[in-house]
Amino acid sequence: MRGGTRKAVLVTGGAGFLGSYLCEQLIEHGHEVLCVDNFFTGTKRNIAHLLDHPRFELLRHDVTFPLYVEVDEIYNFACPASPIHYQHDPAQTTKTSVHGAINMLGLAKRVGARILQASTSEVYGDPKQHPQNEDYWGHVNPIGPRACYDEGKRCAETLFFDYHRQHRVKIKVVRIFNTYGPRMHPNDGRVVSNFIVQALRGEPITIYGDGSQTRAFCYRDDLIAGCLRMMNTPDDVVGPINIGNPHESTILELAESVLALTGSKSSLVRKPLPQDDPIQRCPDIGRARQQLGWEPTVSLETGLKRTIEYFDALLAGRTTRL
């Protein structure tokens, strides 16, 4: 550890929606941050306000290639997370999860760093258990169009636990459920950003299926707070631990909330449900409450208002620091 409580921290995917806010929080906590991103879905706009900070460094790098740096902690957030982006080049998506995990775990092993894997609720697939707890092994189609992401993240978890058992690497694994907030990509195809952008533009809001499928939406700030708590747990707390909001909403209810909060007159249009799209998704966060003392605090209405404010400014060409 460098300089007492100050740590050198590597964040892969650090220019992305979640990674950029994580970098910001680590800087505010007094750490040195190395942000690594290949800018496939991340953008310099997300970290522009950090570029001149003396404890922040940006490196354009693809985690499918090894990286040789000296750090105390690693947050592995590198991987496209929306279906539109991860299905664009599915083989590369799998490589990012698998080769990226191998390279970051190899780095952690060499320098003795703690490493946190940003896994996903997608490891549960289209679940037969509801809500999903960490002991559930999942229901995933290994040859479907979502498998590049689902199985890539499942394999990454396997690698993390094998490096922990075989090489004593200090690992932390969190499974991130649906998360939203400022800095989401406006064209990432995720339901919250889709609905808000369509509503603000006065375009029809696209609902896939009948809208009865459920999701549980966690605001960005709550999510990152949970990840920071996870990294700071004792070495014997390795996870996996679900990080998400246990309050469930239907897709139709979300659309109605967005319409009400934006004042939009957009109509609703329905399209067929994509293959392997989960019908229910909701975390059991009992383990997070017990082991991290964490649970989300930002209501869906509050989080949506902040996200709408961000997209309203973005679409109008105004700058925003949300």
**What average pLDDT does the segment 301-306 reach?**
96
Residue 5 clears pLDDT 90, i.e. is over it: no
**What average pLDDT does the segment 69-74 reach?**
98
Q: Indicate the pLDDT class of residue 256, thresholds 50, 70 and 90.
A: very high
Instruction: Write out the two tokens for 177.
Output: 């459920």
Question: pLDDT at position 316, please?
Answer: 85
Residue 292 lies in a domain: yes
Question: pLDDT at position 274, please?
Answer: 78
Question: pLDDT at position 210, please?
Answer: 86
Residue 204 lies in a domain: yes
Q: Indicate the pLDDT class of residue 208, thresholds 50, 70 and 90.
A: confident
Q: Indicate the pLDDT class of residue 321, thresholds 50, 70 and 90.
A: low
Task: Report the C-alpha gap between 305 and 302 in whole angstroms.
Answer: 5
Question: pLDDT at position 97, please?
Answer: 93
Residue 181 clears pLDDT 50, i.e. is over it: yes
Residue 1 clears pLDDT 60, i.e. is over it: no
Question: pLDDT at position 2, please?
Answer: 43
The 3-class SS string of 193-259 reads HHHHHHHHHCCCEEEECCCCCEEECEEHHHHHHHHHHHHCCCCCCCCCEEECCCCEEEHHHHHHHHH
Q: Assign residue 50 the CATH number of its domain.
A: 3.40.50.720
The larger pLDDT score, comparing residue 274 to residue 199, is at: 199
Residue 17 lies in a domain: yes
Catalytic member of 75, 124, 149, 219: 149
Mean pLDDT (the chain, rounded): 92
For residue 216, what are the domain limits? 8-315
Residue 3 clears pLDDT 50, i.e. is over it: no
Beta pairing partners, 106: none
Task: Report the C-alpha gap between 180 and 104 in whole angstroms.
Answer: 26
Taking every pair of C-alpha atoms in the chain, what is the biggest distance, in angstroms? 58
Strand, helix or coil for residue 75: strand
Residue 1 lies in a domain: no
Task: Report the C-alpha gap between 226 and 283 in whole angstroms.
Answer: 14
**What average pLDDT does the segment 8-16 reach?**
96
Residue whose structure tokens are 């509503």: 199
* Per-residue pLDDT tens over the stretch 16-37: 999 999 999 999 999 999 999 9
Question: pLDDT at position 90, please?
Answer: 86
Task: Report the C-alpha gap between 314 and 17 in whole angstroms.
Answer: 14
For the ranges 1-5, 92-96, 296-300, the lowest mean pLDDT is seen at: 1-5
149 is catalytic: yes
For the ranges 179-193, 243-257, 269-283, the lowest mean pLDDT is seen at: 269-283
Q: Indicate the pLDDT class of residue 147, thresholds 50, 70 and 90.
A: confident
Number of domains forming the structure of the chain: 1
Residue 321 lies in a domain: no
| Percentage of residues in the chain having pLDDT higher than 90 | 74
**What average pLDDT does the segment 148-171 reach?**
95
* Per-residue pLDDT tens over the stretch 73-120: 999 999 876 566 666 678 888 999 999 999 999 999 999 999 999 999
**What average pLDDT does the segment 230-236 reach?**
97
Of 229, 91, 102, 234, nearest to 158 (Cα)? 102
Question: pLDDT at position 121, please?
Answer: 92
